[in-house]
Structures are given as C-alpha cells and as structure tokens.
Structure 1
Amino acid sequence: MRHTTLGTRGTVPVTGLSFGAAGIGNLYTPVGPGQAHEAVDAAWNAGIRYFDTAPHYGLGLSERRLGAALRDRPRDAYTLSTKVGRILEPVPGAATAAPGDLPDDLDHGFAVPATHRRVWDFSADGVRRSVEESLTRLGLDRIDIVYLHDPDDHAEEALTRAYPALERLRAEGTVGAIGAGMNQTALLTRFLRETDSDVVLCAGRFTLLDQSALTELLPEAAARGRSVVVGGVFNSGLLADPRPGATYDYTAAPPALLDRALRMDAVTRRYGVPLRAAALHYPLRHPAVASVLVGTRSAAEVRDAAALADLTLPDDLWAELRAEGLLTENGATV
C-alpha cells in the first residue's frame, strides 16, 4: 500500500487507497452494524489507514460506526477525516418517537430515520461546534483532517469565517490538516490560492471521463506543494460497470458517455484489466494526488478495491486509450 504525507507540513500520513464511510452511514440502502464493522476490519486488514466520514452521512451514523470500529486500533496507526459546514439539529419529538413514526432521510440520500435536520453553518462558532460534536460521535480523542464540506453556495462565509476557524484549530493542535471538499474545481482552486490549506478533496472531476481538475486545480496544487484527495473515481457507477442503465454523476449516463466508457472497457480488457481498476489507478498517476477515496459498504467491496489497487497497469494501456481518443488530458502528462 502506497503511503505519503499531506501538503508541505508533512505531518499527516495517508494511504494511496482510502476508505469512504458514506456507505456504512446507510447511503441509499441500509447496512447492518455487523456489516459496517466488517467493512472497516477488511480495510484495516488490506492495509488501508486513511478513513473519511462526515456528519452529513446518515445524520451522524457513519461517524458513530466508524469511530466504534476504529476505537480499539492504535490511534497513531491511522488517519481520520471528517467535515464541517452542516450542523445536525435534533427534530423536536424525535427522541421519544417510535422508529416507524419518523420519516426517512432518503431525500438526502440516506436510509435512516430523520431524527435530525441539517443546518448549513460556516461560522467560526459553527466550525468549533461541529468538530466537538463529531469527536463525541466518533468517541475518539482527535481528528486528523477536517474539510469544509460542500461550501459551493457559501463561498465567502467559508473563506472568511470557517476557514480561519480551521486555521486556529490547526494551530492549537486540535486537528492536523485542513482543507475543503467539493464536487467542483473552481472553488477548490480558489481555496488553494487564497488559503494555507493542506489538502483538498475533489470528487468526480479527475476521472477517466472527466479530467477538468487538470485545467487549474491539479497544476495549482502541484505548484504550491499541496495535496489532493480524489473521490468519485467511478463517476457514481458508469466506470465501475459500464452498461445500459448505469449512472453517471448520480443520473442516467448519457448515451455518448456510455459509448465512451464501453470503448474504454474494451481497451482495458485487452490488457487483462477491468475498467474499474484503470479508473482507480488513473488519478494516482498525478504527483499532486495523495490518495483515492473509494466508498465501500461491505468487506467484499473493500477487498475488491484493495485487489484493484494492488494491480500493476502497463504503460501501453494508457497510451492506447490516448491513441484511441478516449483519454484527452488538456496537454498534461498523466
């Protein structure tokens, strides 16, 4: 398992493959507590030592489950990240309501009872409160990385109020590294230019089907010695299993993208490599990328991702994808 440290400070280590814990927070479908614990155990056994979660995932369920699964592990042996920007406020009466009397949270993507509501809060007090509440849910003594979570519609408040609060937490030693996480590149690039962030988490914008992060984000990170964690490498499904009906960025894949993915799949299979392996390896070819974050909900999915990460992909595979016009990278060498 590849290891590196984040940013120029070099104090927070991560593995090249990291565990995304939205799935064990009941993303879309329920996951039993035993299955969730087994998934974390499988990640540990595979050598994964970076785990990512957020209050948003299952209204805190992901944090509680991840903290419980990691609690007996040596604390200095792994890195954990969570996020700020959404405060969880209890819904009146939810604490005494029968489980069947509460609506579910599937409008936000999670199969859990809607016991809380999410309140956007990028104030300094909101950041500190969120970190404190995450520590309580996790049951751990510290958080290694804190990201500003999806500040797309709150850019100025995030930059002028939330980010300085994260800087203070880093200076106090409460957290080790700070940054922002989004599904876009423009605001993440601005964070790199205007702040002293250690790392940014970019989801879905540096994949075999979308290399938009190569335009500004990745060159900016490389020039400044900052790190990028890449999520969404399968673009929500199309690059994991290219077939009619597959999803791309959480909606039905357009026919042109499906055709492109199928043609990529044909190329990679000529080298004995499944497309999902190429999708996982591709971001790690860039020097600014520290880790690829893969969301998993079961031990089998973890073991599959780890096996894919362990493969060696030939240079000729990448060359053929370019020669076929299937991989266009804005002139960058990746």
Structure 2
Amino acid sequence: MAADENEAGPATAPVRTLGRSSVPVTALGFGAAAVAGLNGDVGEDEATAAVEAAWSAGIRYFDTAPHYGVGLSERRLGAVLRAKPRDGFTLSTKVGRVLVPREGGGDDRANGFAVPATHTRRWDFSADGVRRSLEDSLTRLGLDRVDLVLLHDPDDHEEQAFREAYPALEELRSQGVVRAIGAGMNQSRMLARFLTDTDVDAVLCAGRYTLLEQGALDALLPAAAAGGKSVIVGGVFNSGLLADPTPGAMYDYKTAPEELVGRALRMNEVTEAHGVRLRAAALRFPFGHPAVASVLVGARSADQVRDAAAQYRRPVPGAVWEALRERGLLPNGVPVPDARTEGILS
C-alpha cells in the first residue's frame, strides 16, 4: 500500500494515501450513518455537533452513503463540510442504491433508520444508475465533488456490479470526476475479488476485521497488500459489542449472541487489567496489518466522537495482545500493532 505518513492533527496522525491514488485519509475516519438516525433518533443539532467534533479532533476523512437515512446522512454531512476548506478533507460516498421519492408517510425503521420514509431505495448497478446516484449525492451534499466512490453492498448483484457498475466508476476516475474508486461491503469474499480482478484503489470492509473476527485475513488483506491497494475498516466495534460489552449489546446489526457477549467480556477483562479500554484496543487492532489505511468510527453525538478520538490516541501495550493470545481470545497468526506501528499512530 502506498502511504504518506504526515501529521494530521492530534487525533488522527498519520495521513495515508489510498492505493496508488493521491487521495489522503486520516487514520481515524468518521462514518456518518449514525448521524442519520441509525438505530435511534438523532436531532439536527446533535448531528451537526458530532460532525463538528470530528473536525475539531483532527478527523479529515468522512464517509457517507445514500442508504444512510435515505439521503439524510449526505445532507447533514454536507451542511457542515460546505463551510470547511474543500481541499482540507476527503469525502467518500457510495453508489448502487438510487433513491426514489415516495408518498404515504411512515418511517424508515424497518431499514434501521429513525427517519421519515421520504424515499424508496432501488437497487441499480447499471452504468446509468452509477452516474445518476453520484449526481444525486452531489446535490444532497451541496458539494461539487467527492473524492472516493464505492460500490455499496453488491452482494446479490455481483455480475452486474463487475460488468456494468465498475467500468462506469473506472470511466469517472479516468475523466477526473472522482479521484479514487472501490467497493464497500459487510463481507470479504467479493471485496477480495474486486482487489484482484479490477483496478480499484481501495475497499471498505465492515465488521470482518475486528478483535472478534478476522475473516478478511484469508484473502482480502493479502490481496490488498500484494496489489498495493488499501483497506478501510468499518464496523470496528462490530455494531457496538466491542464498545460496550454488555448483555443486549448489538453485534452485526442485531442483538449479540450470549457466547459472543461472553467473549467480549473476557477481552474487556484483559484490556482493563492493563489499563486500556476495550474500545481503544478495538480501534488500534486493525492497524497491525500494513494494508489498512483508515478505521471508520460511527458516532451519533459529539461526546461519542471525543471519546473515540481519545481512545484512539491511547497506546496499547504489547502485553495486551500477548494476554489476549494466551487466553485464546486472539489467534496466534493474527498480526497486531507493534512498537513501530504504535510510533506512527500516536
């Protein structure tokens, strides 16, 4: 992975570039699903404060999507970022779902968002769908460009995504409309295919490379490293379980099984014994692999952003990783941050 490691503020050094592109991302990024009402109401002022807190913490990479709150995430994020220097931040959004206006009232809670159901999502991985989705996103954001565009969740549309959507993104990149392209999913198999079979700059892997599971190590991360491409890690808390390991915590967008809650609690015992919060270890863990360029943290309030930035800044002693392995909570072959990594992340 190509990487330029420069200072980028107190919470987020270093800055790395995505693959062979010139697009920089701060090591800690802001995932903007939560500010669009993911799993609960978030008011306009609260959302604005969260994004502003991310900026104040030195975060300069922001990720959004039309899916998040049927466009609300893009509108709220754009409202804040429009007041910032455009060359001072990196923004990614996604394509694959086109939003179609609807009538009839109701809310979007069936899709996980506590917002009015103003639109219907329509899957569209055609070339025209990619271009329309990006144009609509720019309108909602109120910005003239995004830096990174990702194919969003093409799980059930694999062949169309490779045959039609990906070439459309490649053309947009060659025209200079976007600076980097890739795919974002909650699985690793298809993302590995994007890395080996296409010329993407980066992929966003959500939930599959965390302290609790490391499926991305099988093919995705080796493919990224071999191809000089980058991986952005989302869902580092596995929907919340690694942030607050208590009964009833969320895992993979639903209530966590009792067995996984127990495993997270045992991990928490290990990290606390070394004076480290579990969420600090969860934020640091992915950087043990050299292909990882950035970790996205989703936050619904300014306090959550500030806590994530503070936990990210905390060095995690090597003894924590050793203890997790000794207790059978982390496989021996899984790479972890070492002294060199801690030096560049702090």
For normalisation by structure 1, the TM-score amounts to 0.95
Tell me which residue corresponds to 2:240: 237
2:45 is the counterpart of 1:42: no
Q: Could you say what the CA RMSD is over the residues aligned between the two structures, in angstroms?
A: 1.0
Q: Secondary structure at the match of 1:312?
A: coil
2:63 is the counterpart of 1:56: no
1:1-334 paired onto structure 2 within 5 Å: 1-2=12-13, 3-9=15-21, 11-91=22-102, 94=103, 102-328=105-331, 331-334=333-336
Give 1:333 shift: 2.9
Distance 1:139 1:172 in 2: 21
What amino acid is aligned across from residue 258 of structure 1 in structure 2? V
| Residue-pair matches, total | 324
Give 1:275 shift: 0.6
Distance 1:182 1:193 in 2: 16
Distance 1:81 1:296 in 2: 17
Distance 1:83 1:255 in 2: 34
Q: Secondary structure at the match of 1:152?
A: coil
Distance 1:297 1:283 in 2: 22
Distance 1:290 1:75 in 2: 21
Distance 2:241 2:96 in 1: 29
Change in CA separation of 1:297 and 1:202 when aligned onto 2, cut-off 3 Å: same
Tell me which residue corresponds to 1:97: none
Give 1:252 shift: 2.5
Distance 1:178 1:225 in 2: 14
Give 1:332 shift: 4.0
Cα deviation digits, residues 165-202 of structure 1 (max 9, x gap): 00000011111110000000000000001100000000
8 Å Cα contact 2:209/2:215 also seen in 1: yes
Change in CA separation of 1:332 and 1:32 when aligned onto 2, cut-off 3 Å: closer
Give 1:219 shift: 0.8
Give 1:318 shift: 0.7
Give 1:209 shift: 0.6
Give 1:283 shift: 0.6
Q: Secondary structure at the match of 1:14?
A: strand
Q: Secondary structure at the match of 2:276?
A: coil
Structure 1 spans left out of the alignment, 5+ residues: 95-100
Give 1:279 shift: 0.7
For normalisation by structure 2, the TM-score amounts to 0.92
Give 1:74 shift: 0.4
Cα deviation digits, residues 252-274 of structure 1 (max 9, x gap): 22222222111111110011001
Cα deviation digits, residues 294-315 of structure 1 (max 9, x gap): 1111110100000011111111
Give 1:37 shift: 1.1
Q: Secondary structure at the match of 1:159?
A: helix
8 Å Cα contact 2:288/2:335 also seen in 1: no
Q: Secondary structure at the match of 2:199?
A: coil
Name which of structure 1's ranges 240-249 and 144-153 shifts more when overlaid on structure 2. 240-249
Cα deviation digits, residues 230-285 of structure 1 (max 9, x gap): 01111112111112222221222222222211111111001100111111110122
- Percent sequence identity is 66
Q: Structure 1: which 4+ aligned runs deviate by more than 6 Å?
A: none
Q: Secondary structure at the match of 1:278?
A: helix
Distance 2:72 2:41 in 1: 11
Q: Secondary structure at the match of 1:69?
A: helix
Cα deviation digits, residues 135-185 of structure 1 (max 9, x gap): 010000100000000000000000010000000000111111100000000
Cα deviation digits, residues 15-64 of structure 1 (max 9, x gap): 01100101111112221111111111100010000000000111111101
Structure 2 spans left out of the alignment, 5+ residues: 1-11, 337-346
What amino acid is aligned across from residue 140 of structure 1 in structure 2? L
8 Å Cα contact 2:107/2:116 also seen in 1: yes
